[in-house]
Structures are given as C-alpha cells and as structure tokens.
C-alpha cells in the first residue's frame, strides 16, 4: 500500500499542487492536520482535495480546534473522511487516528481508548498510528530552545502497541524527517508537500 501523508499545509498553494501531483501514485492519502489557517479556508481546500478522487483520511490539527467545522465539511464530501478518534481497517492494516492537540503533554482520553482499540486487533494486523503532534522524547519532538515537547500519551502508545508506522506533523522544524523508534516503529513528520510511504 502506498500512502501519501501530509500535514501543516496551512493553505499553501504550492504544497497543495505537489500533493495533487503525488496523489496519482498513492492508494490513499492521510492528512495529519493543519490544512487551514486557524480554520480559515477549510471549505476551499477540502473541496479541492475531494476532487483528487482518492480516499483521504483527515484529522484536525491545532488550527482546526475545535474540530466541529472540519467534521461538518467532510460530511458533505465523497472522498475526504473525518477520522478523529476513529479506527479504520484496510485489509490487515489497522489505522488509529487521534487529532487535535499538538501542544498537550498528555492526552488521558486517548490513553483510555487504547485498551478497547487493542481488543479489535487480530493476529497479523499491522498498526498505523496517526496524530497531529509527535510523541514525546523522539527525534521529531525536540526543539533547541525547549527540549522534548511531544506527547507522553503518544509515546505510551508506541511502547504498548508497537505500530509499524507513526505519522504526525505540527513541528515545522522537523518537516519530512524520519526516525525509527526502538527498532520497531518508523516515525514520519509528513510535511506540507507530502511524504510517500509504502507499507
């Protein structure tokens, strides 16, 4: 499966054009949030993405908080699916989506949802974890002036579930970077022009 993951486009026309071009080679697209600028431009950007004709799974970033407007627009579209706090299964790949935040050091609601999620997994399933902000104490969450600023709850998920892939964005300082967490999980900051990932 080829995934085109992207995040933090913030209405950038050049970035969206590159996503449109790359999408031709992708099976699905995943947006890890912040397509808008504090909610401005949501309708236009989502309408454009929908016309790409590919399945697009989107979560809200901190620029789409509260997320109700994003959810409302997605309901009117054919190919753009709002998946905040949802699980999507495609064959033996299981996607766990959790949006918003970015600046939150912990997310107790997400932690409470994990045991129920684990019960849905079958032998041989490969988990893909998608959040807006990066997990704590990884290469994708370190800032020179602030240290590690990622989410501790996301890190707990990595340790507990051991997904094959984690997609995030939020920190522009780490756009397009990839790291490997404990030799098990590939961590990707998708970036506004998108990163192609084959799983």
Would you say residue 103 has pLDDT above 90?
no
- Rounded CA-CA distance 170/141 in Å is 9
Q: How far is CA 181 from the centre of its chain?
A: 17
Q: Does residue 102 have a pLDDT over 90?
A: no
CATH fold, domain 2-198, is Purple Acid Phosphatase; chain A, domain 2 (3.60.21)
> What is the Cα–Cα distance from 49 to 35, expressed in whole angstroms?
10
CA pair distance 9, 175, nearest whole angstrom: 11
* 46 burial level (CB within 10 Å; 0-12, 13-18, 19+): buried
Q: What is the pTM of this model?
A: 0.97
pLDDT beyond 90 at 182: yes
**34, HSE (Cβ side, Cα atoms, 13 Å):** 27
pLDDT tens for 32-90 read 999 999 999 999 999 999 999 999 999 999 999 999 999 999 999 999 999 999 999 99
On average, the pLDDT of the chain sits at 96
What average pLDDT does the segment 165-172 reach?
97
Domain residue spans in the chain?
2-198
Structure tokens at 178: 């990839």
């Amino acid at each position: 499966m080829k995934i085109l993951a992207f995040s933090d486009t913030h209405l950038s026309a050049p970035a969206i054009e590159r996503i449109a071009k790359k999408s031709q080679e992708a099976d699905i697209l995943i947006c890890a949030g912040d397509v808008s600028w504090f909610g401005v431009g949501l309708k236009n950007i989502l309408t454009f993405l929908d016309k790409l004709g590919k399945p697009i799974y989107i979560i809200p970033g901190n620029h789409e908080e509260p997320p109700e407007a994003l959810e409302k627009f997605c309901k009117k579209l054919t190919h753009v699916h709002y998946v905040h706090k949802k699980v999507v299964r495609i064959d033996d790949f299981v996607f766990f989506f959790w949006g918003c935040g970015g600046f939150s050091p912990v997310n107790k609601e997400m932690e409470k949802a994990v045991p129920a999620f684990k019960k849905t997994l079958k032998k041989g399933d490969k988990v893909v974890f998608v959040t807006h902000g990066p997990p704590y104490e990884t290469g994708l969450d370190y800032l020179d002036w602030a240290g590690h600023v990622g989410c501790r709850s996301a890190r707990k998920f990595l340790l507990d579930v051991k997904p094959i892939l984690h997609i995030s964005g939020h920190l522009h300082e780490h756009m397009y970077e990839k790291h490997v967490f404990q030799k098990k999980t590939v961590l990707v900051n998708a970036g506004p022009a998108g990163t192609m990932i084959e799983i």
